Each structure stands twice: as C-alpha cells, then as structure tokens.
A and B are shown apart, each in its own frame.
Chain A
Amino acid sequence: MGIKNLTKLLGDHAPGCCKEQKVENYFGRKVAVDASMHIYQFLVVVGRTGDQTLTSESGDVTSHLQGMFFRTAKMLEVGMKPVYVFDGKPPALKREELSRRVERRGDATDLLTEAKETGGEADIEKYSKRTVRVTPQHNEECRRLLRLMGVPVVEAPSEAEAQCAQMCKEGLVYGIASEDMDSLTFATPKLIRNLMKPQTQNVPINEYDYDKVLEGLNLTADQFVDLCILCGCDYCGTIKGIGGVTALKLIQKHKRLEDVLASMEGGRYEIPDPFPFEEARRLFKEPDVLKGDGMPQLKWTAADEEGLVQFLVGEKSFNEDRVRKAVQRVNAAKSKSTQGRLESFFGPVSIKTSDTGKRKEPATGKGKSGQAAKKGKSGVGVKKK
C-alpha cells in the first residue's frame, strides 16, 4: 500500500506541501485517475453492510460500477476532465508483495468463515473487506462504463501510478488522483487525494505539491526515492525498527541509501535478504510507461444516455431515474462554456507571506494522520488488489 507512513511524515516535516481544495475548484482541469486502486476501494466501501455488498439481480457485485459512475458523473458535472489509467503487468519485484497479499486474503477468508460461525458482526465486516479482490471482469465492466460516459481510458504498460505521473510530467493532465503515496515517489508534480471519496463523507481534498515535498524534507529527488524505499515500498521488504522519522534522519545524514545500509552493517537493524533496492530505485525512476507520441490522444465525448441505461439499468439493476438524471446533468454541464482562470491570462502565481502573526496549524497535522493510520488497521485503507 504505497509508502509506509509517508502521509504522517509529510504532515510533520513538510506541512507546506499539502493544500486543502474543493472539488468545485477543479473545473476545467484534466486529471489522471488511478483506476485500479479506486475500483478496489469502491469494492471495499460502497454500499457495504457486513459481508453484503451491492449486487445486481443476478447476484454480480456492482459496488465498483456504482462508485465509478456517480463519482465520475460528479467530476464531469463540475467541469473536470478525468482520464482513467488501468494497471498493466506488475513489475517482477512487486510479485512478492502481491503474493503476500494473496496470502493475507487467504487468511482473511478463513477468519471470515470463523467469524461467521461465532457471529461477531464487526469481525464479519472487517474480514470480508479483506477478502475483496478485483477481477478482470470488474476492470472490464469499468472500462465499458467509462467508454459509455465518454471518458478516455489509458492502459498502462505496467504500474498505473507511474503512467499517471508521466502524463502529469508531460503536462497532459493537471494532476493525478490516487490515494497511493507512491505516486509521489514516481515524482508526480501534483497528487490529489480524496477526490474520489463520496460527497456524503465530506472529506476535504488534499493536493500535494511534489516540489514542496522535496523543499520541506530538504531532500533531492534521488534522496526522496531512497527515503521511500527505506520507509517501506511495494518493491522491497521493510527494515524492522525503521519508521518514517528514522528513515528521514538517516537519509539526511548519509545522503545515499548505499551509505545508510553500510552504516547499519553489524548494527541492531536487520536488513531483509534480499533487499533489491537498486532494482526498486530503477523502477521508481525509470518505470515502464507510455511516453510522448506513444500516448493515445485524450478525447472527452458526450455520455451515451441510452447505452448507459441499457448497461446499468438493464444488466446491473440500477435505478433508471437516478442514472438518467446523472447523465443529463453531465451532458448539460458539457454544453456550457468553461470558466477561465486568471493564471491563463496573467501568468503564474507567486506566493507572498506575511511578516507578522502566527502560522495557522496545517490541516494535515497529527490528528489526521492518526486517523489515517487507524483506517489502515481496520482494513479500509488503500490496499491494492
């Protein structure tokens, strides 16, 4: 699940890198969305009570479609232009992490059966969330839904976050929507979190600025990658006893991961074997992505109302009224002209700070990260696949 405790580390050491935003402020912005991760989240969260999820009449799960449809509709309604990026083949290094996740899922399935016998409702919900798996069928259905909504879809050759980051670096999109902090390790200029959370939860959107992350932590881009590997990423094991704060101190002191590891030689830390950090570093810095001309052209078209009704209402037992209304709102929003921004006329924004007074407590302080950590424990976090 991304980089361990990076959110908390950034909240404590680089508070300036994160800004709260409202969905409405993203009008006209193109945003790359990490589809695979969000499908997983929708399956975990949307319409769940105990181990029951939303299903169609024939019993197929529809949580992912429900989440995807209404969130995408909301984005289009405020005038955003989302583009969804799907995961391709995971890099070899990630297989180990993935197989560990399969194992954990296996354990959770056993625990779930047990919980059902003993009848602890909280346990049933907890373990059933952990057994969630995204199948190729879920992905295929989401692709079909997005095509019907007129939203472009990009197939990443490998990791979706890496592809999103590349698109953002090339200026094809304004930022990327993901909950996964390793997007920042891929040097995403702007990471937008909580964009896909349902409106009812009323979570503010957090926008992370990569340059400010580096500035706040006082690291170079290379050192930041090393820091993330040291904190614990998907590609390498973790070193027991090293959390975010220690990792940051070590990198700031020794500058390079090689030197950090050398300094640990014979110390109290146990470096897992193998610890393929060089390979992980390469994956973060030169991931397998589509670049420049290799990218398909992004086009946003009108939503196909009849097609959507046929798919969602006909096949997936959605409420026809709600689907039609959402589609009409989307298409109405599209026919309107877009609001311009002053930067596009007057050039880039500069920041002016006050000479006096107290700094407001940053919103991403301790309280929030504590909450995030708790979420991770209960399994509603951002585990992929």
Chain B
Amino acid sequence: MFEARLTQGVLLRKLLDSMKDLVQDANFDCSSTGFALQAMDSSHVSLIHMQLRSDGFDHFRCDRNLSMGVSLNNMAKILKCMGNDDVLTMKAEDQGDSVTFMFESANQERISDFELKLMDIDSEQLGIPDTDYSATVKMPSSEFARICKDLSTIGDTVLIAVTKDGVRFSTTGDIGSANVTVRSHSNVDKPEEQVVIDMQEPVALTFALRYLNSFAKATPLSNQVMISMSKELPVVVQYRIEDMGHISYYLAPKIEDEEMEGDE
C-alpha cells in the first residue's frame, strides 16, 4: 500500500508540467524514503531526476517498494483538474493496476477522486556518478528561462561560458548572433535575486537550446536555479523544491566530431 498526502497539491502539477514535454511514460518509484523518478528522453540526450523526500509530505506511507508506470501526459491532464489550493492524496495498492488522486478543497467542501490506470513499461535508467563540478552558477530561475527563450529566437545552440565574474550565454544563427552576460552579485534583502558563481576553473560548453527551454518549464517550482558544469560532462540544471527535494535535468553537451572532417 502506498499513500501520500500533500497539502500543497499544486506542487505535483507543476512537477508534471515540467516533465511531460521531455518524457512520455515513466516509472515513479515509491519507497519509504520518498517519491522519485528517473527518466530519459527517447534520444538519450537528456535525463530527468526528480526526488521528493517522504518527510516533506504531510502523511507518507509505503509498505513495500513500488514502481508505478505512468503516462506523464495523462497524469498531467488529471492534475489539471485540481484546484490551486487543493490538498492532494495519492493512493495505490501493491498489486493494483491503478493509482488514485484525491483532491480536497481547502474548506473541505469539495472532494474529487480521479483514478489513473497504470502501465507496465520498461524505463531506461542510468547510474549517475557523483561529481565535483568545476563551476556552479546559482541565479534567478526566471532570468535563466528568459535567456533561453530569447536566445532561441536567434539560434538553436547556446555556448555557456563561466568565468569568475560572470556567466555568458551566446548563440549564432542564420539571422545574426546574440550574447547575454549575467554578472555575479549578492542581494541581502532579496536572496532570490542573487547570482552566485562558485568556480574552480573556467568552463565553456555548448548545448541544444530546445532542451534547456524544456527544462525551464520547471521555473514555477523554484525562485532559483543551479547550473553545474564540468569540462566534457553533461550540465546539471537543478531546481530545489523547498523542504522536499529537487528536480534535476542532465543534458549531454554538443561535441566536436573528428571523423566527419577527414582529409580530402
């Protein structure tokens, strides 16, 4: 038996909205430690790792580890039917073939039950090694979303270059080029607006903007985003979910190709 109650039900809706563009079907892993998901897009370029700790829920019960196969799109559709202030309860039997979402309005006047059929799917998993990244940037998540959106009007890839005083996003395309530089600055009154750069060595990597724009769908979940990079490693774009966990996106960089050039 799995049961979890979340006062801020809307959180799960935001999470689903930030994942469904990248992945169609995925397994939610329920265990006594929490509610988690790891999934890759079909081209194996990006990976989502989501984790909500059990202590972040108002009530959490999981008798036995359970892997629930779900169509993210359908789950998102159901969660769209939830009110903004509703309390959400998820329930699933160990041997069952469905999961129930119960929405209770804040004043207890309206209670709705939605049942979603589960699927048996093979999800592809990767073992992600622990890495000390050579540069991490913490910045306002809305700023990051805006930069990705603005740059994709010009090109389809972005070069992210981190130096000790700032991070530069640049792109070129058929119609021209664009650069956005964000300088590190602190703001004691409004910590959510700070830009903090922690850097061992400068890093510059190129990524496909299409994926970063999908990641930015998680902006409503957190005021700040943390971008971690190391030379020749996938970037991690992480949104913290207060008191509960995080959603992290991994994206493989673009690489120079030697074989294509050849000698002519």
Which A residues form the contact surface with B (CB < 8 A)? 16, 21-22, 24-25, 27-28, 81, 150, 298-302, 334, 336-347, 349-360
Contacts and interface: CB of A to CB of B under 8 A. Distances in A.
Contacts of A356: 66-69, 92, 95-97, 118, 120
A345 B66 contact: no
B118 A342 contact: no
A338 B254 contact: yes
Range of interface residues on B (Cβ < 8 Å): 35 or more
Contacts of B46: 342
Contact of B250 (A27, A150, A342): A342
Interface stretch (B77-85, B163-171, B185-193, B255-263): B255-263
Contact of A81 (B94, B129, B233, B260): B260
Contact of A358 (B117, B127, B252, B257): B117
Contacts of B117: 357-358
A346 B126 contact: yes
Nearest to A359: B120
Contacts of A27: 43
Given A349-B44, A351-B122, A356-B118, A342 B257 contact: no
Instruction: List the 5 closest A-B pairs by CB distance, nearest first.
Output: A357-B118, A354-B69, A340-B252, A299-B262, A25-B43
B244 interface: no
A341 B45 contact: yes
Interface string B158-184: 000000000000000000000000000
A25 B257 contact: no
A384 B122 CA distance: 36
- Counting chain B CB atoms within 10 Å of each CB, which of A343, A344, A346, A351 scores highest? A346
B47 interface: yes
A344 B126 CA distance: 11
A300 B42 CA distance: 26
B123 A358 contact: no
Given A24-B43, A337-B255, A342 B119 contact: no
Contacts of A349: 40, 44, 124-126
Contacts of B118: 354, 356-358
B120 A354 contact: yes
B121 A360 contact: yes
B243 interface: no
Contacts of B68: 354-357
Nearest to B66: A355
B208 to A, nearest CB: 6
A322 to B, nearest CB: 20
Given A339-B45, A354-B27, A355-B67, 4 more contacts: A339-B255, A345-B234, A346-B250, A357-B98
A336 B155 CA distance: 12
A357 B256 CA distance: 43
A319 B167 CA distance: 48
Contacts of B123: 351-354
A28 B69 CA distance: 30
A75 B234 CA distance: 26
A298 B259 CA distance: 9
Contacts of A81: 259-260
A345 B233 contact: yes
A358 B121 CA distance: 8
Interface string B1-41: 00000000000000000000000000100000000000010
A345 B259 CA distance: 19
B120 A353 contact: yes
A354 B25 CA distance: 11
B42 A25 contact: yes
A354 B39 CA distance: 13
B253 interface: yes
A357 B69 contact: yes
Contact of B252 (A150, A334, A342, A350): A342
Contacts of A358: 97, 117-120
19 contacts: A16-B122, A298-B259, A337-B157, A337-B206, A337-B255, A339-B45, A339-B208, A342-B46, A342-B234, A342-B252, A343-B44, A353-B67, A353-B69, A354-B118, A354-B120, A355-B66, A358-B118, A360-B119, A360-B121
Contacts of A354: 27, 67-69, 118-121, 123
Contact of B253 (A299, A302, A340): A340
B211 to A, nearest CB: 9
A298 B258 CA distance: 12
Given A24-B43, A346-B129, A356-B96, A339 B67 contact: no
A344 B252 contact: yes
Interface string B86-109: 000000101111100000000000
A352 B69 CA distance: 10
A299 B95 CA distance: 54
B252 A360 contact: no
